[in-house]
């Protein structure tokens, strides 16, 4: 929201910005603006180039791909590569596993972090800030440090090669960073709502579920979008916990695909593009929440 409104307010011609303009006028304005747009267009093209090339290449034959030159648009939009990707590897299975894990982990992390954050933000108890401090510290423990004992734990539970190691832990707190984000948001809501509801005799669970939670939907969306992207791209955890080809996720499947089809670029491009599509669609739909989330995350403090 902030990002959208600020630039327009800057453009209004106040005396202050007028004086700024005087100071800047080393070169004519249009020259400076020209340079600005040229560099922006050039740089954004460089950043987007890998995608553009990848999408084009997913329709090309291998011979067409290795042709020199920047041919972004394929000769024809043939779907052969995509069909081949489905035939050669259990692509549909990986896709399903990824989606299953990402959806359930996201629901768990979102609800669970909101639930716990409500406790931290609204309810008072002796030692509550101590618990919260402890939660904050865990943000800085790299998850790689816990990978080995968790691997042993999950293998003893018989959870290896099942989606559960990648889902269940998120239902218990949903990650300290998400709790922190949601707590900030709950803190911003008027406490009178809780007091009034208590006087009316509502139970704490009901106050949370029916009064406070609906008010946090903007924050919940941010947490959900970021978490979904995080889980969808997660690599090390599924690589360690899901070593079976049929139980693994898209990124891990794709990585085995990379070593198997080393020279077969057309099938690699098609496979990777199919892995990119869901996340790009989600991004397109949720972009404004992501931008808002940056402001919400409290980096500005």
Partner 1 sequence: MTDGQGRLQLRRRPRPQPNRKLAKREARWFYFFIAPWLIGFIFFGLWPIAASFGLAFSDYDLGGWPSFVGLDNFEKMVDPVQGPVLAKAIRNTLFIALTVVPLQLALGLGLAVLLSQNVRGMPIFRTAFYLPSVVAGVASIVVWIWILGSDGLLNQGLELLGIDGPVWLRDPATVKLGVIIVMVWGGTGAMMLIFLAGLQGLPSELLDAAAVDGAGPLRRFWHVKLPLLTPQLFFNLVIGLASGLGVFTETYVISTDPGSGAPANESLTLVMYIYRQLLRNLQAGYASAVAWVFTAAVALLTALQFWSSRRWVHYEYEN
Q: Which of residues 192-251 bind partner 1 (CB under 8 A)?
A: 204, 208, 229, 232-233, 235-236, 239-240, 243, 250-251
Q: Quick check: 283 binds partner 1 (CB under 8 A)?
A: yes
d(CA 190, CA 162): 43
For the chain, the farthest-separated pair of C-alpha atoms sits apart, in whole angstroms, at 74
Of 2, 31, 73, 281, the one binding partner 1 (CB under 8 A) is: 2
- Cβ neighbors of 129 (< 8 A, separation 6 or more) are none
Closest approach of partner 1 to the CB of residue 220, in Å:
16
Which range, of 35-43, 76-84, 89-97, 211-219, touches partner 1 by CB under 8 A? 35-43
| Residue of the chain from 166, 179, 181, 212 that contacts partner 1 (CB under 8 A) | 179
User: Which positions from 72 through 111 interact with partner 1, judged by CB under 8 A?
Assistant: none
Q: Which residue, 16 or 87, is less far from partner 1 as judged by CB?
A: 16
**169: contact with partner 1 by CB under 8 A:** yes
Site for partner 1 in 130-149 (CB under 8 A): 131, 134-135, 138, 140-142, 144-149
Contacts 24+ apart (CB under 8 A), 154-160: 154/241, 159/241, 160/241, 160/242, 160/243
3 binding partner 1? (CB under 8 A)? yes
Measured from the CB atom, is 193 or 240 closer to partner 1?
Answer: 240
Position among 10, 92, 195, 200 found at the interface with partner 1 (CB under 8 A) = 10
| φ/ψ of residue 237, rounded to 5 | -60, -55
Q: Which is nearer to partner 1, 103 or 276 (CB)?
A: 276
Residues 6+ apart with CB under 8 A from 206: 197
Closest distance of CB 18 from partner 1, Å: 10
Name residues contacting partner 1, limited to 40-69 (CB under 8 A).
40, 43-45, 47-51, 53-54, 57, 65-66, 68-69
Stretch that binds partner 1, among 9-17, 79-87, 89-97, 216-224 (CB under 8 A): 9-17
Closer to partner 1 at the Cβ: 76 or 295?
295
User: Which CB atom, from 144 or from 192, has the smaller least distance to partner 1?
Assistant: 144
């Amino acid at each position: 929201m902030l990002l959208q409104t600020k630039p327009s307010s800057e453009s209004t011609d106040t005396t202050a910005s007028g004086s700024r303009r005087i100071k800047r006028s080393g070169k004519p304005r249009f020259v400076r603006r020209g340079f600005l747009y040229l560099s922006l267009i050039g740089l954004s093209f460089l950043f987007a180039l890998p995608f553009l090339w990848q999408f084009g290449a997913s329709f090309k034959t291998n011979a067409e791909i290795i042709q020199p030159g920047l041919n972004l648009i394929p000769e024809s939009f043939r779907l052969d590569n995509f069909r081949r990707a489905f035939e050669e590897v259990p692509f549909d299975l990986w896709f399903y596993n990824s989606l299953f894990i990402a959806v359930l982990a996201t629901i768990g992390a979102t609800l669970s972090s909101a639930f716990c954050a409500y406790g931290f933000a609204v309810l008072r108890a002796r030692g509550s800030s101590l618990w919260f401090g402890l939660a904050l510290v865990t943000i800085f423990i790299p998850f790689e440090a816990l990978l080995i004992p968790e691997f042993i734990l999950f293998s003893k539970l018989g959870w290896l090669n099942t989606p559960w190691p990648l889902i269940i832990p998120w239902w218990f707190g949903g990650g300290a960073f998400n709790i922190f984000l949601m707590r900030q948001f709950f803190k911003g809501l008027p406490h009178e709502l809780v007091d009034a509801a208590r006087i009316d005799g509502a139970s704490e669970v009901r106050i949370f579920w029916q009064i406070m939670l609906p008010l946090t939907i903007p924050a919940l969306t941010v947490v959900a979008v970021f978490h979904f992207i995080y889980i969808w791209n997660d690599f090390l955890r599924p690589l360690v916990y899901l070593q079976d080809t049929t139980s693994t996720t898209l990124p891990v499947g794709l990585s085995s695909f990379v070593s198997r089809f080393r020279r077969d670029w057309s099938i690699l491009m098609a496979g990777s593009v199919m892995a990119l599509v869901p996340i790009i669609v989600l991004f397109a739909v949720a972009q404004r929440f992501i931008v808002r989330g940056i402001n919400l995350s409290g980096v500005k403090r």
